[in-house]
Amino acid sequence: MYRNYAKQDVINNEVGLTVRLAAMNTTTPSPDAEDSVVSDEALLIAVGNNQDVDAFNQLFTRFAKKILALGMKLTRNEQLANDLIQESMLNVWLKAPLYDLDKGSAKGWIFTLSRNRCFDMLRKQKRQPNCISADDIWPLESGAEPTMVHEDIAGQQVELSVIEGYFDKLPDSQRAVVEQIYIKDRTHEEAAAHLQIPLGTLKSRLRLGVAKLRNMIGVDQ
């Protein structure tokens, strides 16, 4: 049913849990990635959904030198560049649940995060006023949090069968999340874990799916 997740890798994390990791249909894997290599995205999803320390270690190893190179280029200061590794990877850990795989690769997400932290580090070091930060200059495409509740759709007084008809018209990826939340009554976190997608992706697909349903209901009335 979930054609997005047809390709799956299997790894064992250190607490012995088997984690099936989703490969994605939305980004092209890097050319040197072999089928046996776990994608950056899969590692990031494991970090965000399962607080997987082993996956985080792997991301750390993959990105430390890249972040260092970026830091050296932008700060020309070895100490700052080394600080940037820690600062950026801390943010990778903290914000992993917010990653949205529909909006780009994990590498792109980590690049953005590292560039922004570097920009703010330099501003702080030069004691520049803090009226503005990197996240204002390179804003994340932020949709508002989905605020709808179940009553929203029910309140429209539409036959359930009609809604079900609309439901079938949703793209697979959106139907899957709407089903998890509205039919199976799972929490966002449970649904993200079940679908093996980041929480950030779950929320944005849910937002899109519900908006589409509302639209279809509105249009027909």
Q: Which residues bind another protein (CB under 8 A)?
A: 48, 51, 53, 56-57, 60, 64-66, 68-70, 72-74, 78, 82, 85-86, 89-90, 93-98, 105, 107-108, 111-112, 115-116, 118-119, 123, 126-129, 131-132, 134, 136-140, 142, 144-145, 189, 199, 203
Q: How far is the CB of 62 from another protein (least distance, A)?
A: 9
Q: Taking Cα atoms as reference points, which of 157, 72, 87, 155 lies closest to residue 117?
A: 87
Cα of 127 vs its chain's centroid, Å: 33
CB of 178 to another protein, least distance (A): 19
Element (H, E) at 20: strand 18-22
Give the count of beta carbons closer than 10 Å to the beta carbon of residue 83.
17
Q: How far is the CB of 53 from another protein (least distance, A)?
A: 5
Q: Which is nearer to another protein, 25 or 57 (CB)?
A: 57
Between 16 and 139, whose beta carbon lies closer to another protein? 139
Minimum Å distance from CB 203 to another protein?
Answer: 8
The β-bridge partners of 11 are 19
Amino acid identity, position 87: E
Residue 15 or 154: the one with the smaller Cβ distance to another protein is: 15
Minimum CB distance to another protein, residue 125 (Å): 11
Distances in whole angstroms, Cα of residue 61 to Cα of each of 86, 94, 177: 12, 17, 32
Closer of 117 and 175 to another protein (Cβ): 117
Of 67 and 158, nearer to another protein (C-beta) is 67
- Determine the Cα–Cα distance for residues 87 and 94; give it in Å rounded to an integer: 11
Q: How many whole angstroms separate alpha carbon 120 and alpha carbon 86? A: 14
What is the rounded distance in angstroms from the CA atom of residue 6 to the CA atom of residue 134? 37
